[in-house]
């Protein structure tokens, strides 16, 4: 059975990645794509890479009425924009997969971290948090999905086995992460210009990055305790990828790297998209895939556990993750239409 889907905000990087992945999905058919800034333009003109698959498809204005009749809507809009459309989409009966942050947090946490009052808090309970490996049952019971953020996906998967087994102190977690430039979107801004990014590596969002709230929420839900994460993101001179290097203090002695790697492999044994490696992972190995590569080490000298995760921020960190969630809600195999292997070299 083929399910017709729409992509709201399809002219950005995550929207284009959705179109790339949806073309290879045997059960989802793209019926309509919207983009106010490019309404009337051909997808193939904006993204020549998509021309073989979508030679005649054009962007419509972002209007919920235009999306009537589709079974699922992927919202690939900037943070704060989905709230304007979700009430009408919800009333229309389509399942919603929001790639922004609008429905990931409680109303209070959203207001605290995003500085705005949530416009439709009554719909927050309709959304499951879309990190399948750690929240599969809750997603199955939800009507809609708030797809997890890219940084929180990497950090949460890197630390989840340690938190789940109670191996670490929960108030000392450090996440030192780097992301490619596509993570900031396609909009024109000085910090994304080639001459600013090339040959540069810089931290940003010090002590206040909004994804901190997600990390603490996800890890806290695993152990039902308060978790504190010191998160420092960096912008790396590459198009795609996230590398998360996380540090934690163990509660007890007697750990070893071999035992931790074995624990991680057991924890993720049933997960198609998580690979636990003995070698340090790199972003290029996950490029274009929905996979996460993870390793872990124990440093006896400093009594520190280091957990490292690499992923493609546009796939597992956004569009691929959304399709994985959609597969789950439409009772399809989770890996359907999603690449497991990265592009190399």
Residues designated as active site: 150
Distances (CA, A) of 131 to 70, 179, 239, 294: 24, 19, 23, 16
3-class state of residue 5 by DSSP: strand
Q: Which two tokens stand for residue 161?
A: 């086995």
Q: Which two tokens stand for residue 275?
A: 């690979």
Phi first, then psi, for residue 18 (nearest 5°) are: -60, -45
Phi first, then psi, for residue 7 (nearest 5°) are: -120, 115
Owner of token pair 């597992």: 316
Identify any residues that bridge with 177 across adjacent strands, giving them in sequence order: 233, 244
The helix or strand, by DSSP H or E, that contains position 202, with its residue range, turns out to be: strand 202-203
Please say whether the beta carbons of 11 and 59 come within 8 A: yes
Distances (CA, A) of 298 to 128, 140, 153, 228, 259: 34, 35, 22, 21, 9
Distance CA 170, CA 156 (A): 13
Identify any residues that bridge with 294 across adjacent strands, giving them in sequence order: 276, 309
Q: Where are the alpha helices (DSSP H) in the chain?
A: 13-23, 43-46, 86-92, 107-114, 132-140, 150-164, 194-197, 211-223, 257-267, 320-329
């Amino acid at each position: 059975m083929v399910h017709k889907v729409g992509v709201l905000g399809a002219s950005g990087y995550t929207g284009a990645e959705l179109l790339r992945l949806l073309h290879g999905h045997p059960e989802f058919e793209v019926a309509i794509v919207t983009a106010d800034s490019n309404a009337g333009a051909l997808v193939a003109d904006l993204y020549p890479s998509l021309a073989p698959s979508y030679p005649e498809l054009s962007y419509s204005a972002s209007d919920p009425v235009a999306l009537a009749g589709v079974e699922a809507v992927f919202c690939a809009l900037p943070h704060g924009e989905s709230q304007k459309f979700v009430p009408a989409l919800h009333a229309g009966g389509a399942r919603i997969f929001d790639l922004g942050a609008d429905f990931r947090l409680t109303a209070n946490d959203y207001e605290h971290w995003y500085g705005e009052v949530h416009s439709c808090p009554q719909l927050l309970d309709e959304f499951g948090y879309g990190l399948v490996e750690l929240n599969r049952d809750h997603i199955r019971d939800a009507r809609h999905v708030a797809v997890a953020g890219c940084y929180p996906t990497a950090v949460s998967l890197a630390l989840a086995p340690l938190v789940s087994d109670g191996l670490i102190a929960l108030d000392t977690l450090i996440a030192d992460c780097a992301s490619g430039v596509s993570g900031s979107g396609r909009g024109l801004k000085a910090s994304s210009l080639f001459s600013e990014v090339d040959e540069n590596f810089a931290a940003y969002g010090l002590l206040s990055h909004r994804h901190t709230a997600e990390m603490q929420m996800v890890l806290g839900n695993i152990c039902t305790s308060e978790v504190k994460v010191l998160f420092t993101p960096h912008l790396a001179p590459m198009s795609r990828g996230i590398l998360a290097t996380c540090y934690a203090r163990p509660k007890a002695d007697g750990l070893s790297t071999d035992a931790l790697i074995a624990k991680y492999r057991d924890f993720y044994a049933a997960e198609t998209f998580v690979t636990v490696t003995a070698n340090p992972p790199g972003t290029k190995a996950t490029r274009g895939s929905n996979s996460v590569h993870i390793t872990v080490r124990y440093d006896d000298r400093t009594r520190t556990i280091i957990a490292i995760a690499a992923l493609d921020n546009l796939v597992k960190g956004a569009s691929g993750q959304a399709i994985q969630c959609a597969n789950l809600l439409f009772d399809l195999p989770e890996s359907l239409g999603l690449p497991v292997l990265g592009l190399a070299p």
